[in-house]
Amino acid sequence: MSGLMRYRVRHQTTYRYGGDVAHSHQLLHLTPRDSAVQTCRSRSITLTPEPSIRREDVDAFGNFVTRLEFDLPHDHLDVLAEVAVEVCVPAHAAAEDSIPWEEVRDSLAYSGRPMREVQLDACRFRMESSYVRIKQVFSDYAADCFPPGCPLLQGAASLMHKIHRDFGYAPGSTNISTSALDAFTARRGVCQDFAHIMLACLRARGLAARYVSGYLRTAAPGADAALLGADASHAWVSVFCPPFGWIDLDPTNDVRVATDHIVIAWGRDFGDVSPLRGVIIGGGRHRLSVRVSVQAE
């Protein structure tokens, strides 16, 4: 396996409205951000109809956002995002070399002393958010993954295994507004729910972890089956893991992220990075279809 993967991604979203939409505002997270392991070579978003206003911006977490306003009546909306991305293998990080989880937890808690930027950044991802309310059940569930003195990455990896083992991948069993707690109770869900559950467990333990939205290559070379979640946008978790920094784990597929995943955006939970969200006025019932294709070059 080479150290560098090149991908072309087409992400097509289509709304068909029952009647005319008189006016609408939309917010898109469809443009991949760059990172230490990822470079976006080309990016484009094609819209039909043309919006009356289009603004490219960067949100509070450093993600690219596109804001749209449509002020003429329209009965459909097509959004086509096409990107070319290079992903390289992350630096080696041996789980047993990561810092014990309690030390990391304590280093992020308030001490009255100044914090380094990297720590303060991690603090943004260790509290409750609207999808990820922190409850005792999550702390209890994760307890045996984090015995005293356990290196953080080891604990996080065993939590990932446990979630992958205990929860069923069941498309259609949840929806985009399902909370971590509801999915936890139902014991099943899709990648979004797996990620939310893992975030809730990590944060319940006082650790910092963020929700990552992105894509997954359709089939790993030489693998028999495609990875789960490859036909749509995907989601996984990134955990703050000193001394290595942020390490991405995919609980839906029970893998440490290497070069099969393409990052679009990250935030506290799905609500911060949903690919498309908006408000329409009028329009009646609507039909939505989403198609994603990820091709390795």
Partner 1 sequence: MTDARLETYLSDTRRYDELVDSSGGIREHWQPLMDALASNGAGAVRRGAELARRLIVENGVTYNVYADSQGRDRPWVLDPLPILLTAAEWREIELGVAQRASLFDALLADIYGSQRLLADGTIPAELPFGHPNFLWPCHGITPAGGRRLHVYAVDIARSADGRWWALADRTQTPSGPGYALENRQIVSRVFPDLLGDLGVRSLGGFFVALRDNLLRHGLDTDSDLAVVLTPGSFNETYFEHAYLARQLGLPLVEGHDLTVRGDTVYLKTLGGLRRVHAILRRLDDDFCDPVELRADSALGVPGLLSAVRAGRVVIANSLGSGVLESAAWMGFIPAAAQRILGEKLRLPSVATWWCGERLALDYVLENLERLVLKPAYPNQNFPAVFGRDLDTAARAELARRIRARPHAYVAQERLAFSQAPVWRSGAAEGFAARALGIRVYAIATASGYRVMPGGLARIAAEAAGIVSMQRGGGSKDVWVLTPDRKSIDEVNVAGSVPRAATRHDDLPSRLAENLFWLGRYSERCEDKARLLRATLDVRPNAQLWPLVRATCGNFVAASLFDEASPLSLSADIQRLGWCAAQARSRLSAENWRAISVLQREFHDAAKARRDARETLDALLLSLAGLAGYALDDMTQDDGWRLMMIGRRLERLKFLADLLSQRLETGEASMQSELEWLLDIGDSTITYRTRYLAAPALGSTIDVLVFDQTNPRALAFQWHAIEYSLVRVAASLGGAPDDTLDEAVAQVEEMQLSAIEGDSSRAMRARQALAEQLRGLCAAAGKLSDRLCLKHFTLIDAEIRTVAA
**Site residues (CB under 8 A) for partner 1?**
13, 15, 22-23, 25-27, 52-53, 55, 59-61, 67, 69, 71, 109-115, 117, 120, 123-124, 126-128, 130, 134, 136, 139, 176, 267-268, 271-272, 274-283, 286, 288, 290
Q: How far is the CB of 124 from partner 1 (least distance, A)?
A: 6
**Judged by CB, which is closer to partner 1: 1, or 288?**
288
**Judged by CB, which is closer to partner 1: 170, or 176?**
176
- Residue 196 has φ and ψ, to the nearest 5°, of -60, -40
Q: How far is the CB of 9 from partner 1 (least distance, A)?
A: 16
C-alpha to C-alpha distances, 142 to 129, 197, 297, nearest whole angstrom: 19, 10, 39
Q: How far is the CB of 116 from partner 1 (least distance, A)?
A: 8
C-alpha to C-alpha distances, 98 to 124, 153, 157, 256, 281, nearest whole angstrom: 21, 6, 12, 15, 51
C-alpha to C-alpha distances, 78 to 16, 54, 128, 283, nearest whole angstrom: 9, 15, 34, 15
In eight-state DSSP terms, residue 3 is S
Q: How far is the CB of 202 from partner 1 (least distance, A)?
A: 14
**Judged by CB, which is closer to partner 1: 212, or 255?**
212
**Judged by CB, which is closer to partner 1: 43, or 286?**
286
* Whether 240 contacts 220, CB under 8 Å: no
Q: How far is the CB of 99 from partner 1 (least distance, A)?
A: 19
**Judged by CB, which is closer to partner 1: 151, or 275?**
275
